[in-house]
Structure 1
Amino acid sequence: MTVKFIRVQDPSLAVSMYTTGRRAFVNDGLQEALFPPRLFDPSDPDEQHRFRIGALKKRLVAPNAWSIAAVDDDVKDEDGGVKVLGYAAWYEPETPAVGDGQPRQDEEEQGWVEDGEGSLRGDGVKFPRCMDVKVHQRLESMLDESKRMLLGEPARPAWYLRSLAVDPDVSGRGLATQLVQWGIDRAKEDKIPAFVESTPAALSLYKRLGFVVVKDLPPLDNGHVLTIMLMDPEEKKS
């Protein structure tokens, strides 16, 4: 296997990235909280998938979003196209790090109920009925508060790791480490911090790569906890 790392800006790869994310986060607590089984509509089983793939396509073309994917020219998806083996969604400092209303993958997110067909965010973007509005609002509020605590207001520049996913079929080959290290290297070059909201499963990886725990967010109703972590190259010098 010869893996290379590319910046993905082609929306046609969104489906492969989303598929990898789904496989990486089977039975994930955050997904269960945001997309609870009680809101699943059997008459529209693909509602969540359509929405999240559409949101991912928009993020791929955002100028300051760096979606770094691990691919292998010899490994194809079931349609013969490029298969994304893993990816990290890094954001440059200029891009809103949290509270931008776009769903997370390990994580991926609503507004307030507008009618019987879904919900509207403040900017009029409609979200599917399969998402829990109150959980999303609570999560966004916690993330916004944590960002202010972490980076100040106005926020000091920082790289933000929004999503990280590796296909279980290629786990243990160092892809996650390399995908995270890509952003760490950029942060060190820029002499600014990098931060992430970690799932419990990824804590050891981030700690090994130099992130430190800042705080645990209050648990969601199902007990799932996200941990705010920071890697600050300037602090390491002191």
Structure 2
Amino acid sequence: MPLELHPLQEADLPAYDEIIHEAFRGDIGDLLYPNGYTPADRTHSLTRALQKWRQHPQTVQKTKVIDTALPDTDPLNKIISVADWNFHPQERSEAELDAADEEGQDAGFPPSANIPFMKHFFGLLSENKRRILGGKPHILLHILVTHPRHHRRGVGAMQLEWGVAEARRLGVPVYLESSPMGRPLYERFGFETVGWLELDAREWGLDHDLPHALMLRPADAETVVGEAVG
């Protein structure tokens, strides 16, 4: 099989950013960047991602799936999927949680971003995660995306197998937010829907809802994997 999972490298960050942008194009991407995702936005995002990664190398773990059958000239270095995991294997105090929130806010916003929406959206994500988990040990699956050209190849399942194995090793739950499209895959890996993000996308200009399921895989859950479709 030509698909392989590896740790992401710093040199992969431009491809990582491009795949995320392609995956979120339309809907949430349009709300975040209503005037388009500019080179200045990309520079800000890459700088922030690298800074956080270097500041917290034990917390931030990034993985990639490559397709070895792609040509060496592939502009994304043969990367077809990326995932961003945040490891918190130890209990954290309220003060530590506050400090982490403040650090995220200190990074500022990309120049073309819809700042009110970003504050609202990411604020909701943070509030719900804190409500559900508090300072308990866990792994956060912050991002898992596959380039749209490579859907339905089992790529998401490869990423999840790695993360679930790490969660088992540490004896901690895994938390994530999922779109309806990704929810069946997560359920096959033992994730349970514990709530929904209260985001009114129509209030921000869309003509339809953008439901996000808040999902938790308990530390002692058994993994039941069906046919992979990631």
Give the TM-score normalised by structure 1. 0.75
Q: Relative to structure 1, is the Cα distance of residues 78 and 22 closer, same or farther in structure 2, using a 3 angstrom cutoff? A: farther
Match of 2:48 in 1: 55
1:224 is aligned to: 210
Deviation at 1:94, TM superposition (A): 5.5
> What is the match of residue 191 of structure 2?
211
Kindly report the root-mean-square deviation, in angstroms, between the aligned alpha carbons of the 2 structures: 2.7
Alignment check: 8 A CA contact 1:73 1:82 kept: no
Q: 1:131-177 deviations in whole A, cap 9, x for unaligned?
A: 1221122223222221222113xx11000000011122222211111
- Cα separation, 1, equivalents of 2:71 and 2:49: 20
The aligned counterpart of 1:87 is 82
Distance 1:202-1:212 versus aligned 2 partners, 3 A rule: same
Equivalent residues of 1:5, 1:70 under 8 A apart: yes
Between the two proteins, what is the percent identity of the paired residues? Answer: 21
- Per mean C-alpha deviation after superposition, the further-off stretch among 53-62 and 180-189 is 53-62
Counterpart CA distance in 2 for 1:132 and 1:161 is 24
Specify whether residues 126 and 192 from structure 1 end up closer, same or farther in structure 2 by C-alpha distance, changes over 3 A only: closer
Q: Which amino acid aligns with 1:232?
A: P
Contact in 1 for aligned 2:45/2:110 (Cα 8 Å): no
Pair 234,73 (structure 1): closer, same or farther in 2 beyond 3 Å? closer
SS at match of 1:210: coil
| Equivalent position of 2:34 in the other structure | 36
Residue aligning to 2:226:
none
Query: Paired residue for 1:158, among 138, 145, 157?
Result: 138
Q: Give secondary structure in 1 for the equivalent of 2:167.
A: helix
Cα shift readout 1:86-135 (whole Å, capped 9, x = no counterpart): 11111111699984765xxxxxxxxxxxxxxxxxx4x3x34233112211
Are the equivalent residues in 1 in contact too, given 2:89–2:172 (CA < 8 A)? Answer: no
CA shift at 1:191, angstroms? 1.6
In structure 2, relative to structure 1, the CA distance for the partners of 1:215 and 1:77 (3 Å cut) is farther
Distance 2:14 2:66 in 1: 14
State the alpha-carbon separation in 1 of the partners of residues 72 and 14 from structure 2. 10
Q: CA deviation at 1:200?
A: 2.5
Q: Secondary structure at the match of 1:36?
A: coil
What per-residue deviation string (whole Å, max 9, x for no partner) do you get for residues 45-67 of structure 1?
42222222323333443412111
Q: Give yes or no for contact 1:23–1:168 (8 Å, CA) kept in 2.
A: yes
The CA deviation string for residues 3-51 of structure 1, in whole angstroms up to 9 with x for no partner, is: 221112x321111112222232332x222222123xx59xxx4222222
- Aligned to 2:220, the other structure's residue is in SS state helix
Q: Which runs of 5+ in 2 are unaligned?
A: 91-95, 223-230
Equivalenced residues, count:
207
Q: Larger helix proportion, structure 1 or 2?
A: 2
Q: Write the mapping of 1:131-210 to structure 2, written as runs, cut at 5 A.
A: 131-152=113-134, 155-210=135-190
8 A Cα contact 1:211 1:230, kept in partner: yes
2:24 alignment partner in structure 1: 25
> TM-score, normalised to structure 2's length?
0.78
